[in-house]
Amino acid sequence: MLYEVMTLDYTVSTYGGEIQSVAGNNVGYGATGGTIFVGGRAGHRLGIRNSGATIVAEAAGKYACEYMTRGKVLILGPVENEIGSGMTGGELFIFDPKTDVPAKLHGKSVTVIDCAHVDYEWMHPLLHQYFARTGSRQAEYLLKNWADVRRGRRLRKVLPLAVARAMEDLKTAGTNAG
C-alpha cells in the first residue's frame, strides 16, 4: 500500500499544544487509492473528489470531502464549514468532542450518524498506524481514551443523504418483514 505522510516533528516542539497547518489546500484531490497521513491541519478541500483513498488528518479547513465518491476520511480534530458539499459516496469520520459537527455540514448533501461497531473495528488499527507514522498527539489521546471515545459516541460518521436514506429504508423494511 502506498503511503504519503506529511507531519510535524513532535520530538522538537509541543507547538503550544495547538494543531498546526502542515498541508495546503486540495490534499488528496481525485485520489483513487493509497493512504495519506497528514500529521497536522490540512487546508481547505481535504479529500476533494476522493474516489478511493484513505486519508487521516488532525484537522481540516472548509469543504472537506467535497464531491467525494468513494474512499474513507478520518479527521481527528476541528473542521470548518460546508463539510461534505456534493458528497455522493464514501465515508467521512470526524472526532466531535463538542458536538458541533452537524452545524458544520453541508446540509443539502450529507448527514451525520453514530458509528457502528464495524466502523470502530477498521478505525482502531488505522489510528495505530497513523500514530506510529506521525507521532500525532491527537491520535495518541484517542488511542489512550478509546473506550471513552466509543462509549461517548464522539467519533461521528458523515454520509451522503441518499446513502443514509437507503440505510433507513433497509432498516425499516427489515422490521416489517414477515
Q: What percent of the chain has pLDDT over 90?
A: 69
Composition of the chain by helix, strand, coil, percent to 5: 30, 30, 40
Domains of the chain with bracketed CATH: 3-9+19-173 (2.160.20.60)
Mind listing the pLDDT tens digit for each residue in 116-149? 999 999 999 999 999 998 888 999 999 999 999 9
pLDDT bucket at 178, cuts 50 / 70 / 90: very low
Mind listing the pLDDT tens digit for each residue in 33-79? 999 999 888 999 999 999 999 999 999 999 999 999 999 999 999 99
Lookup: cell for 145: 481514551
Query: Do 69 and 90 form a contact (C-beta atoms < 8 A)?
Result: yes
DSSP structure class, residue 67: T
For the residues 142-158, what does the mean pLDDT come to? 96
Among the listed residues 84, 72, 133, the one whose alpha carbon sits nearest the alpha carbon of residue 112: 84
The predicted structure's pLDDT at residue 12: 63
Q: Strands 51-60, 70-75: parallel, antiparallel or unpaired by DSSP? A: parallel
The predicted structure's pLDDT at residue 81: 94
